[in-house]
Every structure is written in structure tokens, then in C-alpha cells.
Amino acid sequence: MKSIVVLISGRGSNMTAIAQALRDERWPARIACVVADRPGAAGLARAREQGIDTDVVDFRAFDSRAGFEAALASAIDRHAPDLVVLAGFLRILGDAFVDRYAHRMLNIHPSLLPAFPGLHTHRRALEAGVAVHGATVHLVGRELDMGPIVAQAALAVRPDDDEDRLAARVLALEHRLYPAAVRWFVEGRLALQDARVVLSEPRPGETRCLWGG
Ligand code: GAR
């Protein structure tokens, strides 16, 4: 049984999608704790509703990033997780923290990386006039929103898309993409070859590239 700690800052819809898939598909894993960086994160209540333990390490209580990250690491390590899942965790992480969880920390980002790291990805994608947009799950590296790509979900941008419509369609894809990628990790089917991710023993229909509408 693998142990997962999920870090959130907000509504936690990706965390919920992962928790549901884990239950429905009976993965050999459990979410040991959902940890938020602020007490007002709406996802905390959603986790509790599903019977998942929660914890808060409030970033406002610390005057340095190092202090916050040390407290966060001890809240995580208490559960000795095999995997740390960043699910809308909106803090920039220092090198020591990233290195501590090297090869066992995943993130989801709402763009087709390496395009549009950082904030306001949907607005920037529309402004750039891209025809294809989406989301990426990756192993967390030292550079913001970067690291070996595990899987990507893509969709065609529609002429009448605005930021909200595009965000909603990408989010629906995220809810399919992230559980699949976490499941592969839990099943031990992800490996790094030359700093690139390889999925072993793909089953029929399983692909690192998901297409949506
Ligand atoms: C998601 O769209 C996720 O991709 C994004 O935050 C949202 C969290 O939603 N993450 C980032 O922008 C990371 N750079 P959720 O709390 O409902 O899962």
C-alpha cells in the first residue's frame, strides 16, 4: 500500500478527482493527508468529507520561505509518503525542498509545458493565439513548473473561447489526466530514462497523451 500526501492551496478539485479514482479503481494506495498552505483552502473541507485527514501549514505564520518549507516538510514526513502530489499548490518551492522529494513529487500545470509556466496560463494561451492548449503532469524539478513530463492532455482552442470557458474545459481534462498519472506512479510504472519519463507496460488505450474536446 503506497502512501500519498496531497498539497493544496485552493478548491482541491484535482485532489478530489484523485481520491475518487483511488477509491473507485481500488489502487494499492491511500491518501494519508491533505495539507494546505492556508486555513481557508476550500479543498480542506472536501477532503474531510471524504474521510481524509487534513493539516494546515499557514505560510503567513512564517517570515522566511526556509522556515515555512521546514514546517511543511515535517508535516509531510510525518506520513512517510511514497509520493507527494501538488494539486493546485501555489507556492514557489526552494531547491532544498524540491531535492528532498526528488523523483517522488508530481505537479499538474494548466498548460502544455514548456509553454506558459507560471500564472494566467489560459489568458496567455489565448493572447498568443495558440490552436492547441491543455495541461501537463510532471515530476517537480527545481525550475518553476518544469521537470520531466509524465503526461499531457490537449484540446483544440475554439474561436469563441474566453479565459473561463477554456479554463473549464482544461480543468475537466485535468481531472482525467492527473488520476491516471498518479496511478501509474503508484503502480511503479514510471521510470526516468535520460531525464525523460517512460511508461512501462501500457495497457490498451493507455497513453501519455490524452485528447479532449
Ligand atoms: C489547476 O488548474 C491546476 O492545474 C493549477 O491550479 C488549479 C488548481 O485547481 N495549478 C497551477 O497553476 C500550478 N502552477 P484545484 O484546486 O481545483 O485542483
pLDDT of residue 213: 79
CA 16 to ligand 1: nearest atom: 18
The 3 state secondary structure assigned to 59-84 is: HHHCCCHHHHHHHHHHHHHCCCCCEE
**pTM of the full structure:** 0.98
Pick the catalytic residue: 79, 103, 109, 122? 109
CA 108 to ligand 1: nearest atom: 4
In this structure, what C-alpha cell is assigned to residue 149?
513530463
Calculate how far, in angstroms, residue 183's C-alpha sits from the geometric centre of ligand 1. 19
Locus of grid cell 492547441? 132
Mean pLDDT per 10-residue segment, the chain (213 residues): 98 98 97 98 98 98 98 98 98 97 98 98 98 98 95 98 98 98 98 96 93 89
pLDDT tens-place string over residues 62-119: 999 999 999 999 999 999 999 999 999 999 999 999 999 999 999 999 999 999 999 9
Q: Indicate which residue's Cα is closest to atom 6 of ligand 1.
A: 88
pLDDT of residue 67: 98
Residue 149 Rama label (left phi>0; alpha psi -120 to 50; beta): beta
